Amino acid sequence: MKIKRIFKKYYNKAASRIYKFATLKVIYPLVYNFHKRKPIDDKKVLLIEVRSLSLTDSYAVLDRELKARDDIKISYQYLGETIVGVFGCLKRGLACIKELATAKAAFITDACQITSCVNLRKETRLIQIWHACGAFKKFGFSTALLKFGDSEKRMLKYPYYKNISYITVSSPDIVWAYEEAMNSRTFGSKVVPVGVSRTDLFFDKEFLNSAKERVYEAFPNARDKKVILYAPTFRGKVRSARTGMVDIERFYKELGDEYVLIIKHHPYVKNPPLIDEIYSDFAVDLSKTSDIEDLLCAADICISDYSSLVFEYSLFERPLIFFAYDIESYNDWRGFYYDYDELTPGPVFTTDEEIIEYIKNIDKRFDKRKIIDFRDKFMSACDGNSTSRIIDLALGD
């Protein structure tokens, strides 16, 4: 039985290597070269989702503004990696490559080997509007020597960040981090601090009001109380992502009279901890039903750990709390671009008791100046007009 498992393991690895070589080195480049014999369609723009089968929030504002332009034809490409299986990925990958061959511009929000495996024609602009703001935990080439990352050799053999014309980021101060992570100097990409498209929503008063109403409809008890949002990032590999959790019972006993608790787990987490029914009036998990943008608008306090959503939340100048109970192991696993204690604009705690005590005295202990300084450093290019600048990069002269 043990021999059979070992054989299956090595067989699957060998099959995966063969598939990767066949698609990324042979099939996709051949198909792309065949279709790029046709002229560029100056009106065609691709929105590519690497891991999703629907349009994620990173594209919300961009999609709306592109649709407002009558002369733009939008092609939606959902690759569904890790979701649709080998043959599904191949089918969707081929469709994407065919459309990319004649597109004026294409947008991606994640690492993508399919857009990186071809010799992209010069007339096409590929824009990376990364799904996170700021520069928090390491990714890409920055993780080559960490447990989370792949080797630099393999990342160069099968690149994720090749062919990118522009990488859009939230501040000039973090350009260096994205240059490192996406190896932009090697691949000839330009990191430009023009802002992050989806943050434009937070400068829209109508959206802010409607977002709160959507949260209240999803959890009516939040309407008459203050909202604590707990939004941890995932731990481990993407396919087997784990999550953190606060002590709901203790939060309920100590804070339940004044607050409600809304939980939003990372989308990679498939089996989050369940909330006991006896706390249903106080705590709710809206991970699958509410957008993070809506929850950020409604939250009076945000508790996170190593998630980049803290950069977006800083735009509201409200209290941030960092629950870093596993900071040492996470740092060894993933790593940070800045010293964690120096980066965080709010208190860092390792126990539920510390968090509760801080919230009870938040009016005295909250330092708004730290949040403002943090926002100015990491989000200075986000002013409500980022999407227009990004579209100009993609379609302008």
**Domain ranges in the chain?**
2-196+383-395, 202-378
The per-residue pLDDT for 145 is 82
Q: Which of 170-174, 265-269, 283-287 has the lowest mean pLDDT?
A: 265-269
Q: Is the predicted pLDDT of residue 12 greater than 90, yes or no?
A: no
The residue assigned the tokens 């990376």 is 128
pTM of the model: 0.92
Predicted confidence (pLDDT) at residue 9 exceeds the cutoff of 70: no
Gap between the Cα atoms of 68 and 391, Å rounded: 12
Contacts of 352 (CB under 8 A, 6+ apart): 246, 247, 250, 251
Angle at 139 between CA 135 and CA 141, to 5 degrees: 115
Residue 4 has pLDDT above 80, yes or no: no
Task: Give one DSSP letter per residue of 143-154, joined into a string.
Answer: GTTSSSSPPHHH
At 235 the pLDDT is: 87
Q: For residue range 231-249, list pLDDT tens digits in order.
A: 999 887 777 788 889 999 9
For β-strands 301-304 and 320-323, DSSP reports them as: parallel
Stretch among 185-189, 294-298, 327-331 having the lowest mean pLDDT: 327-331
Whole-number pLDDT of residue 389: 97
DSSP summary character for residue 274: P
Question: What share of residues in the chain are helix, strand, coil (percent, to 5)?
Answer: 45, 15, 40
State residue 333's pLDDT score. 83
Please check whether residue 266 is in contact with residue 307, taking contact to mean a CB–CB distance below 8 angstroms: yes
pLDDT band per the 50, 70, 90 thresholds, residue 1: low
Report d(CA 200, CA 214) in Å as an integer.
18
Q: Cβ of 70: how many Cβ atoms within 10 Å?
A: 6
What pLDDT, in 10s, does the model give residues 126-148?
Answer: 999 999 999 999 999 999 888 78
Mean pLDDT to the nearest integer, 196-203: 97
- The CATH fold of domain 202-378: Rossmann fold (3.40.50)
- pLDDT-derived band of residue 2, with 50, 70 and 90 as boundaries? low
pLDDT of res. 348: 97
Cα angle, residue 179 at apex, residues 304 and 153 outer, rounded to 5°: 100
Q: Confidence class of residue 332 from pLDDT cuts 50, 70 and 90?
A: confident
Do 251 and 223 contact (CB within 8 A), yes or no? no
In CATH terms, the fold of domain 2-196+383-395 is Rossmann fold (3.40.50)
Give the residue carrying structure tokens 């709710």.
284
The answer to whether residue 208 scores a pLDDT higher than 70 is yes
When pLDDT is averaged across residues 8-17 and rounded to a whole number, the result is 69
Residues 345 and 314: their CA atoms lie apart, in Å, by 9
pLDDT category, 122, cuts 50, 70, 90? very high
What's the rounded Cα separation, in Å, for the pair 143 and 150?
7
Instruction: Give the pLDDT of residue 321.
Output: 98
Which of 334, 367, 362 lies closest to 241, judged by CA? 334
pLDDT given at position 353: 97
Taking alpha carbons only, the member of 262, 218, 271, 220 closest to residue 243 is: 271
- DSSP 8-state symbol, 276: P
Instruction: Give the percent of the chain with pLDDT over 90.
Output: 84
Q: How far is CA 61 from CA 57, 165, 380, 387, in A?
A: 8, 21, 19, 7
The pLDDT of 300-322, averaged and rounded, is: 97
Q: How far is CA 132 from CA 110, 197, 310, 395, in A?
A: 9, 11, 10, 23
Name the average pLDDT for the chain. 94
